[in-house]
Structure 1
Amino acid sequence: MRDIQTALHPAPQAQALAPDSRSPWAWLGLLMAGLLASCAAPVPPPVVAPPPLVVVPAPPPPVSTLPAPDLISQAGSPLEYRKDGARHIYERNTTRIYKGQLPPLMHAVGVLQVEVDGRGNVRNVNWMRAPSHVPDVMREIERTVRAAAPFPAPVRMGGVTYTDVWLWDKSGNFQLDTLTEGQRSK
């Protein structure tokens, strides 16, 4: 009989655990408890130590990938470099150099400034006195200078701007004042 009595009237502990099917508040409490449990913060994953830092030494300063200039000038001033520049133009234009003394009347005379960088490249040409009456000669002189590049690299100065006088004959040949053989009087 005790079993029947226990089944009809459960023990107080059993009543606390099982909701009364007649009490809506009991169901509501269970629902709230379930909702609160689902909102609980998740368990964080275990902390993994980061790998140790690897110290990489700084790379060495960049090495110039440009080859050394083939021609080098040891000139210490633009006036000294003027001779190196003139010789270089003469070497590149052997068939166009006027041989001997120039005639008394020149076809064109021009004063040209040439800017050369530290590697011997022509950066700029600037007319100080242009033979503007013969624009074809001006263009030819500029072309000749640019075609002669690279000039001897002015290693002691790191770059130079030098000036030379172009003496142009009507034959199309020329001399530079720096290396001129002079001019006939008649």
Structure 2
Amino acid sequence: MRSTLLRTGRHLALAAAALSLAACSLLKPADKAGEGDKGTTATTPSGETATDSRDVPTVRLITAQTPAIRTYRKIGARHIYNKYANRIYKGKLPPLVYAVVVVETDIDATGKVTNVTFSRTPSHAPEVAPMIAEMIKAASPLPSPGKLGGHTYVDTWLWDRSDKFQIDSLTQGQRSR
């Protein structure tokens, strides 16, 4: 009986793995022929010509965390630390911080902050995200990103109950107790 259950479990696991792999192929684009093109032209049902320009993003591009971006995150965080030196939590943060906020900061090629959005905000501390957005905007312009140009970078703010904070790029960590 037990060996039958084990075999059935293995068969189910194999079937689940096969379905997962099959689902991955559904997520790939069906037409790869135009990947090297900068854009393609198509005719709409009404007979008009529509251009698909692949060099114009339709959504905000969040920059990959390359070494250059990680370095710029530290430069941007240091700029904010200098602007708000009296608001920085000194030393290691307590084990449970009041709020953890993941911030997406859009900057242009000169370092001017063009937008601040959040991919994670604490429901128990709704007042923190707007304060962070105002602080970032007031610290604009950030240092010039140089060759990186305008982009969106992501950083995490660790907010203490005292309204002091650390930014993950420059954090001193947390105490264990």
TM-score relative to the length of structure 1? 0.57
Any idea what SS the aligned residue of 2:104 has? strand
Q: 1:129 aligns with which of 93, 96, 120?
A: 120
- Distance in 1 between the 2:72 and 2:152 partners? 9
Kindly indicate whether residue 86 of structure 2 is the aligned counterpart of residue 95 of structure 1.
yes
- Could you tell me which runs of 5 or more consecutive residues in structure 1 were left unpaired when the two chains were aligned: 1-74
Q: How many residues were matched structurally?
A: 112
Any idea what SS the aligned residue of 1:146 has? helix
- Distance in 1 between the 2:119 and 2:70 partners? 16
Question: What is the RMSD of the two structures over their aligned residues, measured on CA atoms?
Answer: 1.5
Shift of 1:136: 1.0
Letter in 2 for 1:148: A
Q: 1:86 aligns with which of 65, 77, 85?
A: 77
Any idea what SS the aligned residue of 2:163 has? coil
Match of 2:144 in 1: 153
Shift of 1:133: 2.1
User: For residues 104-154 of structure 1, what are the alpha-carbon distances to aligned partners after superposition, in whole Å with 9 as ceiling and x for unaligned?
Assistant: 111100110101101111111121111232111111111111111010011
Match of 2:135 in 1: 144
- Distance in 1 between the 2:149 and 2:168 partners? 25
- Distance in 2 between the 1:170 and 1:104 partners? 12
CA contact (8 A) 1:121 1:150 kept: yes
CA contact (8 A) 1:110 1:129 kept: yes
CA contact (8 A) 1:132 1:138 kept: no
- Distance in 1 between the 2:123 and 2:131 partners? 12
Any idea what SS the aligned residue of 1:156 has? helix
Q: Using the TM superposition, name which of 130-139 and 100-109 deviates more.
A: 130-139
- Distance in 1 between the 2:87 and 2:117 partners? 22
Please list every run of at least 4 consecutive aligned residues from structure 1 whose deviation after the TM superposition is greater than 3 angstroms. Answer: none
TM-score relative to the length of structure 2? 0.60
Shift of 1:76: 7.5
- Could you tell me which runs of 5 or more consecutive residues in structure 2 were left unpaired when the two chains were aligned: 1-65
Match of 2:174 in 1: 183
